[in-house]
Structure 1
Amino acid sequence: MTKTVKNVTSSDGLKIYADSNGNAGKTSIVFIHGFRLTGAVFDRIFEDPEFTSKFHLIRYDLRGQGRSGVPENAEGHVSKLYADDFVAVCEAFEIKKPYTVGWSYGCTVLSDVMTHLPPDYLSGSIYLGGPPFLGEDLAKIVTTECLAVLPLLMSTTCTSAEYEDALTRFSEGLYSTPKDVPIETKWLWRGMMSSAPPASYGYALQRKVDPSALFAIGKKGYPLHVIAGADEALLDGVKLVALLKPEFTKLTWHYVEKGGHSVFHQNVQETIDSITKFVDENRWTGVAE
């Protein structure tokens, strides 16, 4: 894969790491990673020769995580800055009306984008098992295991043993069958989870995300596609779809029978096929349908 790397400057001066497959001129898809991880989790998708030849693929590390800069306080995690980061990445790679693929926490960024950018900025979006919001509403769609472990991952009072146990439980929950995942992958992803100070992850998880603008445009015909593993440990895909149905007139979904939370990693081809079909068949013009 040809990789073009850029350290993009956002509106507040923070540096945002981003890279692309260099396939400029093709339909653009921006990938946004999950909590405590980085864009590197999408390596298997970005290394697929057929998929990469068809699309211009871009990914970036969210602020306060991975290889991007770390804001020093909660003010560095307000919704508009997440939207500004997205714009900065799009402008750096000179892309217009991209599609987005958000995984887990990364899905929340679509709400930021729709709140602060024009309604026709995007062409469509894919959720890889993720929420449109944060906060107490997460209880509507995430599992009891996820609800139990998240507070520990941003706690400043738990013991180091409790923190490491929570990180292990969260890491194992990313896969439907952890024993089948190569240890090199587990080590790589676990390393990503410690790339920023613990406080940074707390700010990211506690920030306010308002999905009302997203839901409003969803009712006008904005296309959203959900890909979720049926063998999930962290989020209930069926509940997610049920929550989104009243908000989107053009909602489609695909359940991967033996897919876990990182369905795109363990079920690469099925995920790629589902993304490709959606992008080929849907393009939002900004006009209500």
Structure 2
Amino acid sequence: MRTEVVGAGGVRIGVRVEGNESAPAIVFVHGWAQSARVWDQQFADPELRRGFRLVAMDLRGHGQSDVPAGGYDDPLVWAGDLGAVLGIAGEPAVVVGWSYGGLVIADYLRVHGTRGIAGVVLAGAITEIGNGHPGGVVGSAMREALPGVLSDELDVALPALGKLCDGMASKPVPGPLAQALLGTSLAVPPHVRAGLFRRDVDSADVLASVDVPALVVHGTEDAVVDITSGEYAAGKIPGAESRWWPGVGHLPFVEAAREFNATLARFAGERAGEARTER
């Protein structure tokens, strides 16, 4: 089912909702220049569908969300958008952030703390951005793609985005998926792709203040977000669990879907059990 919520500044945020409507929610936040469709293998997983309400947002400027002219550098905006999505999730939800989605979660935590959040999962994620910030170190595939992926010119952006999508997985992915990744990136307007990079964010204090369970998963072969970004988040968040998956690149929920889904189901199930005990 597709629906929408009203985010910061009245921007309409597209939301994908499936699974068990009466179960605890898992909210998925995708990465830069992608969409809620990246979570297809999680939305198709029988255990996740049976045990949880699955909610995936399209970031503003992406997928089926509105495309405002600005706001992409404002933590209050990202916090407002994610807050609106959490509002339809019901009880405190486990939030999963991939790549740039981890920074969106950090923005929410910066503004609202862990209100409405039962647990945090960071998957191949950044939590900071800008030069010198250890929580935002990118890998070779992203370094080589910049600044071309931000260009207005198709003959510059297309090959750069193609190389970036090729570099997302540690091994070649099926052709339809590769084309879907590239097509989704191209569908995000250049001013949006560039706007998300016009930030300088330190999240050390934000991560250190997280008071709900957290899980950091990262592929050892991630060439888009360097594994040191995941190690930084895991080291800053009190009591965070970590999983470093050998041979996996920037798409752990695709490349190691079965293991990712089982790990997520266990983590989210434990959070739901804790919530019932607290009642």
TM-score, with length taken from structure 1: 0.86
Structure 2 Cα separation of the partners of residues 214 and 206 of structure 1:
20
Partner of 1:147: 143
Work out which of the residue numbers 64, 67, 72 in structure 2 matches 1:70.
Answer: 67
Q: Name the aligned partner's letter for residue 257 of structure 1.
A: P
- Confirm or deny that 1:235 pairs with 2:235: no
1:63–1:213 CA distance, 2 compared to 1 (3 A): farther
1:263–1:118 CA distance, 2 compared to 1 (3 A): closer
Work out which of the residue numbers 32, 35, 38 in structure 2 matches 1:38.
Answer: 35
- Confirm or deny that 1:54 pairs with 2:48: no
Structure 1 Cα separation of the partners of residues 212 and 93 of structure 2:
13
Q: Name the aligned partner's letter for residue 175 of structure 1.
A: A
Q: Which blocks of at least 5 consecutive residues in structure 2 are unaligned? A: none
Deviation at 1:138, TM superposition (A): 5.6
Partner of 1:184: 176
1:260-285 alpha-carbon deviations (Å, 9 max, x no partner) = 11110121110011112222345788
Partner of 1:124: 119
Q: Which blocks of at least 5 consecutive residues in structure 1 are unaligned? A: none
Structure 2 Cα separation of the partners of residues 263 and 164 of structure 1:
24
**Aligned-partner SS, 2:146:** helix
8 Å CA contact 2:25, 2:89 repeated in 1: no
Partner of 1:279: 268
Q: Name the aligned partner's letter for residue 186 of structure 1.
A: A
1:272–1:146 CA distance, 2 compared to 1 (3 A): same
Please show how residues 101-112 of structure 1 align to structure 2 within 5 Å.
101-112=96-107
8 Å CA contact 1:111, 1:213 repeated in 2: no
- What is the Cα-based RMSD across aligned positions, in Å? 2.2
Q: Once structures 1 and 2 are overlaid, which stretch shifts more, 271-280 or 167-176?
A: 271-280
Structure 2 Cα separation of the partners of residues 235 and 76 of structure 1:
20
Structure 2 Cα separation of the partners of residues 95 and 203 of structure 1:
31
1:33-62 alpha-carbon deviations (Å, 9 max, x no partner) = 111000001001101112210111100100
Structure 2 Cα separation of the partners of residues 278 and 116 of structure 1:
25
Deviation at 1:110, TM superposition (A): 1.3
Q: Name the aligned partner's letter for residue 199 of structure 1.
A: H
Structure 2 Cα separation of the partners of residues 113 and 241 of structure 1:
18
8 Å CA contact 2:19, 2:48 repeated in 1: no
**Aligned-partner SS, 2:244:** strand
Deviation at 1:77, TM superposition (A): 4.2
Work out which of the residue numbers 83, 102, 109 in structure 1 matches 2:79.
Answer: 83
Q: Name the aligned partner's letter for residue 268 of structure 2.
A: V
- Confirm or deny that 1:263 pairs with 2:252: yes
8 Å CA contact 1:79, 1:208 repeated in 2: no
State the aligned residue count: 273
Structure 1 Cα separation of the partners of residues 73 and 206 of structure 2:
19
Structure 1 Cα separation of the partners of residues 133 and 162 of structure 2:
21
Partner of 1:17: 14
Partner of 1:165: 159
**Overall identity of the aligned pairs, in %:** 26
TM-score, with length taken from structure 2: 0.89
8 Å CA contact 2:114, 2:212 repeated in 1: no
Structure 2 Cα separation of the partners of residues 280 and 131 of structure 1:
25
**Aligned-partner SS, 1:275:** helix
Q: Name the aligned partner's letter for residue 151 of structure 1.
A: P
- Confirm or deny that 1:211 pairs with 2:200: no
1:141-171 alpha-carbon deviations (Å, 9 max, x no partner) = 3223322313221245xx6433222111111
Structure 2 Cα separation of the partners of residues 242 and 196 of structure 1:
30
8 Å CA contact 2:216, 2:234 repeated in 1: no
8 Å CA contact 1:171, 1:190 repeated in 2: yes
Partner of 1:224: 214
1:29–1:198 CA distance, 2 compared to 1 (3 A): same
